[in-house]
Amino acid sequence: PRIPGGEVVSQKIDVTGKQRYDEWLNSTNTRSIRQYKAISSAIAIDEYRVRPKFRRQSTLIVTDLNDTRLLLYSPSGPMTSEELELINLQGNLLVLYQLLPDAELETGTTFDARYMTLAKLLGIDEVSGGKVTGSVSSLENSIAVLNWTGSITGAADGVATDIDLIIATQFNTSTGRFSSVKIRIKENRKTGLARPGLDVVANINLKILDVPSTPTIGETLISRLDTPPVRGSDRIILRPIASGFTIYHQRNWTVFVDQPQMCVLRMIKNGELVGQCSISRLPNRDSNQPIDVEKFQSGIIGSLGDQFGQVLDRKQYKEGDLHVIRVAVVGQNGDVPVQWNYYHISNPAGQQAVAVFTFELTNEPLITKHDRSMVSTFAFKELPVETPTAQNQQNTTVRK
SS (H, E, C) 292-333: CHHHHHHHHHHHHHHHEEEEEEEEEEEECCEEEEEEEEEEEE
Tens digits of residue pLDDT in 11-54 = 888 999 999 999 999 999 999 999 999 999 998 988 788 888 88
- Which of these, 125, 160, 362, lies nearest to 252 by C-alpha position? 125
* CATH 2.30.230 segments of the chain: 13-225
Tens digits of residue pLDDT in 124-173 = 999 999 999 999 999 999 999 999 999 999 999 889 999 999 999 999 99
- Which of these, 240, 235, 230, lies nearest to 377 by C-alpha position? 235
Do 141 and 109 touch, CB atoms closer than 8 A?
no
The predicted model gives 87-110 an average pLDDT of 95
Does the domain at 236-395 match CATH 3.30.70.260? Answer given as no
Tens digits of residue pLDDT in 331-352 = 999 999 999 999 999 999 999 9
Alpha helix stretches (DSSP H) within 113-195: 115-122
* CATH 3.40.1000.10 segments of the chain: 236-395
Do 321 and 347 touch, CB atoms closer than 8 A?
yes
Q: Is it the case that residue 398 has pLDDT exceeding 80?
A: no
Q: How confident is the model at residue 395 (pLDDT cuts 50, 70, 90)?
A: very low
Do 267 and 255 touch, CB atoms closer than 8 A?
no
d(C-alpha 94, C-alpha 91), whole Å:
9
Q: Is it the case that residue 397 has pLDDT exceeding 70?
A: no
d(C-alpha 366, C-alpha 5), whole Å:
30
What is residue 394's predicted lDDT score, i.e. its pLDDT? 37
CATH code of domain 13-225: 2.30.230
Q: How confident is the model at residue 400 (pLDDT cuts 50, 70, 90)?
A: very low
d(C-alpha 279, C-alpha 298), whole Å:
19
The alpha carbon torsion through 87, 91, 94, 96 (nearest 10 deg) reads -170
- Which of these, 277, 372, 287, 363, lies nearest to 324 by C-alpha position? 372
Tens digits of residue pLDDT in 278-292 = 999 999 999 888 889
